[in-house]
Amino acid sequence: MLAIIPFVVCLTGVFFHREVPPAKSTTAAEDSEEAKYFGICNAIAVVVVFYLLAYGFVPHVNVMS
């Protein structure tokens, strides 16, 4: 799990944060929308980072033993 989740997050970032040629003219609404979605992707990445950090520090009890 600690190897798969960061890979999926980075792969998602590659698809959504790819470089595109700038438009000839952008409006304030388009810039605001772009900033909103970029912020959402960053927030999801931060949540995943803290989850994985906590997961690494919590001891795992083996129920079978």
Instruction: Give the per-residue pLDDT at 23.
Output: 67
| Total-model pTM | 0.57
Distance in Å from the first CA to the final CA of the chain: 22
Q: How far apart are CA 34 and CA 46, in angstroms?
A: 18
Instruction: Give the per-residue pLDDT at 53.
Output: 82
Instruction: Give the per-residue pLDDT at 1.
Output: 67
Instruction: Give the per-residue pLDDT at 5.
Output: 77
Instruction: Give the per-residue pLDDT at 25.
Output: 73
Helix (H) or strand (E) holding 18: none
Mean pLDDT, contiguous 10-residue spans, the chain (65 residues): 76 75 75 84 84 80 62
With a CB cutoff of 8 Å and minimum separation 6, the contacts of 9 are 44, 45, 48
Per DSSP (E only), the strands in 14-54 are none
